[in-house]
């Protein structure tokens, strides 16, 4: 009988802590989450036979999350930190415990060091530049070459916008506005594939008042083939005026495949303008033609003429309270004749030269 009561007792303590109480030496436990869904009307030509979809209505999930985080003082400035974040789909009822940013680590005057399942420093460095991150209209269609919500070193070998399994992350404290981060996606897959894949991600930022400047770099070791590494670099700047925020971003992707090299430049600009109780939000992305002698298609792009694309998104965000908002947007990707760019979240599946687009009316709530 004791073996039954003891776990129940521990569960009650955990629930009490989650509701704002204290359990043992735990100094703080917080429940939090984001519910974000939209009704969309989308259309494009399909990737299979080029047939026009003729428009499709759909209820989309924009990465809703539910999580718990906490910390424990260990003396002086040092404390233990932890987080368990789960994803769930409001539209289908599906979800996964610890499917999103989840970690355990230490934090103090020297910075933060943790282990777990987390977005890379490269990914995190410019997320705030996109007012539509993470939704169907997010910049990941062109910037980062797609988005993977969760991957190791072999499951997704194309995307540079990613949450990495088996990751070790260090984040420095801020010194006069300067900070940095570094991460290693541990190469556990060496035992299962005939190469030694791994991930190394770095970012540096200056954030002081209205100005933010970012540099980020990431290496994917032996992702496409043994002995060759992919890498990505991006630089960005954003500035907050009293009622206007602007951001500019440049990115260069370089893949090294079994047949050769594949490179591409990407650009992104956003504008958030306060208007009435809410804000107008505009995003514009540009992907140049792919270049190089590689014959493979990696993610959304390949080498050759007419393989570039643009993406335009415009919408309005209307706050109902500090935690709840309604929003609407229109987003369109204009693919050149040989390009196959698609929405990175809630993909449609497109044929070369198709122009996927969507109109959305959604609601977002934080708790």
pLDDT in tens, 141-192: 999 999 999 999 999 999 999 999 999 999 999 999 999 999 999 999 999 9
Q: Which residue do the tokens 């204290």 mark?
A: 22
Residue 162 exposed, middle or buried by CB count within 10 Å (0-12, 13-18, 19+): buried
**Cα(351)–Cα(53) distance, rounded to whole angstroms?**
11
Q: Which residues pair with 182 in a beta bridge?
A: 170, 202
| Contact call for residues 355 and 322 (beta carbons, < 8 A) | no
Query: By percentage, how much of the chain surpasses pLDDT 70?
Result: 90
Domain ranges of the chain: 38-366
**Cα(320)–Cα(280) distance, rounded to whole angstroms?**
15
Eight-state DSSP code of residue 293: S
The token pair at 107 is 């934090």
**Cα(198)–Cα(196) distance, rounded to whole angstroms?**
7
Confidence tier at 54 by pLDDT (50, 70, 90): low
**pLDDT at 70 exceeding the cut of 60:** yes
Confidence tier at 45 by pLDDT (50, 70, 90): confident
Q: What share of the chain is helix, strand, coil (3-state, %, to 5)?
A: 10, 55, 35
Half-sphere exposure of 306 (CA within 13 A, CB side): 6
268-285: average pLDDT: 98
88-107: average pLDDT: 93
Count of beta carbons in the 10 Å neighbourhood of residue 326: 14
253-259: average pLDDT: 97
- Class of the 38-366 domain? mainly beta
């Amino acid at each position: 009988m004791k073996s039954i009561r003891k776990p129940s007792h521990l569960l009650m303590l955990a629930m009490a802590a989650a509701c704002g109480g204290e359990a043992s030496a735990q100094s703080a436990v917080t429940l939090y989450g984001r519910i974000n869904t939209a009704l969309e009307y989308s259309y494009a030509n399909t990737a299979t036979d080029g047939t026009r979809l003729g428009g499709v209505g759909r209820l989309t999930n924009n990465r809703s999350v539910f999580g718990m985080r906490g910390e424990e003082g260990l003396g002086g400035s040092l404390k233990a930190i932890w987080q368990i974040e789960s994803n769930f789909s409001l539209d289908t009822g599906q979800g996964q415990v610890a499917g999103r940013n989840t970690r355990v680590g230490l934090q103090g005057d020297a910075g933060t060091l943790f282990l777990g399942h987390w977005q890379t420093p490269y990914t995190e460095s410019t997320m705030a530049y996109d007012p539509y991150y993470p939704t169907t209209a997010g910049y990941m269609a062109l910037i980062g070459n797609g988005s993977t919500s969760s991957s190791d070193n072999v499951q997704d070998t194309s995307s540079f916008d990613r949450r990495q399994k088996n990751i070790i992350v260090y984040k420095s404290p801020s010194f006069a506005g300067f900070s940095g981060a570094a991460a290693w996606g541990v190469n556990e897959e060496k035992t299962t594939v005939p190469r030694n894949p791994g991930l190394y991600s770095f970012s540096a930022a200056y954030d002081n008042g209205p100005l933010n400047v970012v540099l980020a770099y990431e290496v994917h070791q032996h992702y496409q083939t043994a002995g060759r590494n992919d890498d990505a670099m991006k630089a960005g700047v954003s500035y907050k005026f009293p009622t206007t925020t602007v951001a500019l971003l440049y990115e260069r992707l370089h893949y090294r495949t079994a047949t050769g090299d594949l490179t591409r430049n990407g650009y992104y600009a956003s504008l958030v303008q306060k208007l009435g109780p809410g804000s107008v939000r505009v995003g514009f992305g540009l992907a140049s033609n792919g270049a190089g002698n590689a014959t493979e298609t990696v993610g959304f792009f390949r080498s050759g003429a007419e393989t570039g694309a643009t993406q335009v998104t415009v919408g309005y965000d209307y706050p109902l309270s500090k935690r709840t908002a309604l929003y609407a947007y229109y987003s369109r990707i204009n693919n050149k004749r040989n390009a196959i760019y698609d929405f990175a979240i809630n993909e449609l599946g497109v044929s070369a030269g198709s122009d996927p687009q969507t109109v959305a009316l959604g609601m977002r709530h934080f708790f």
